[in-house]
Amino acid sequence: MIIITGAAGFIGSSLISKLNNKGFKDLILVDDFSNAEKNKNLQNKAFTEKFDRGLFLEKLEKGMDNIDFVFHIGARTDTAEFDKAVFDKLNLNYSKAIWKSCSEFKIPLIYASSAATYGMGEHGFVDDEKIIPQLKPLNPYGESKNEFDKWVLQQNNCPPYWAGFKFFNVYGPNEYHKNRMASVVYHCFKQIQESGKMKLFRSHHPDFKDGEQLRDFIYVKDLVSVLFHFMLHGSKNGIYNLGTGKARSFKDLAENCFKVMGKEEKIHFIDTPIDIRDKYQYFTEAKMDKLRKAGYTKDFYSLEAGIKDYVGEYLMYDKYY
């Protein structure tokens, strides 16, 4: 039996699809299932049981029979939320409780960290665990993820196998419910659909032209493929980057959306808001050597191929994965 927290969310539900497609259907889903829009992600998926995230901790701490693996994907991911107490409860302390139970009952664990832990990238984007205590995230969300990573590295009592993955800029199907927190690809599609154009931030950095700010965009199908691989073949405990290792520009992203939608390209540049301008990242790119050395050898979707699949096969038809 496999447990997935954050099961109704974007990445959690995509992971369920991956597991189902590989024949794994004895799944326990954990989330706050009160959002009807979010629950659409679970349509036509096979699973055994659902638990509210609050009740689940009580059950796990008492011991659950026949649990083979835990994917802890659930988290509060709102980067515009600045109430630290929210993140302490839902991200940091909840994750600690899952870790402790997995350690006590000898259950392998994979958990979601985040590239938000890297802050402005002052120390680069290398998944060297020695630099984790030095990282300076830009918001409470990133801080909560980094605090858990730091805590994990201090533990002597651990699950029999564990790995944390720093997700970079994930996009793909099943993010309809995320609204403003959805990926840039999703927002690009919606803007083009509604107005025929796409707005991008103007560059306020002399080394970057407008729209040529760079991000490491990873397609969710690649992300869950990595998680599935490490469930089956994970050997070395640790914290890993999970991007593509290839930064691409927002302009590239927008141009590909127009192309797949068969629309004339109309990109408008607007000033980056003053209140976020000093914390705006112009470059993120995951160093992927550690993941590759750990045994994951498959190619990742290019930005072009990912957008073609996501926009052309899902967004244009309101389909779910």
Q: Which residues are catalytic?
A: 141, 178
Q: How many Cβ atoms sit within 10 Å of the Cβ of residue 8?
A: 26
CA distances from 40 to 7, 28, 87 (A): 11, 17, 26
Closest CA to 267 of 246, 286, 250, 285: 250
Give CA angle at 31 (30, 34), nearest 5°.
135
Q: Are strands 248-249 and 69-72 parallel, antiparallel or unpaired?
A: unpaired
Closest by alpha carbon to 139, among 305, 281, 22?
281
Instruction: Report the run of H or E that residue 102 belongs to, with start and end.
Output: helix 94-104
**Contact in structure between 155 and 98 (CB atoms under 8 Å):** no
Q: In 106-134, which positions are buried (b, 16+ CB within 10 angstroms) versus exposed (e)? A: ebbbbbbbbbbbbbbeeeebebebeebee
End-to-end CA separation in angstroms for the chain = 22
Which H/E stretch holds residue 257?
Answer: helix 250-261
Tokens representing 141?
A: 């969300």
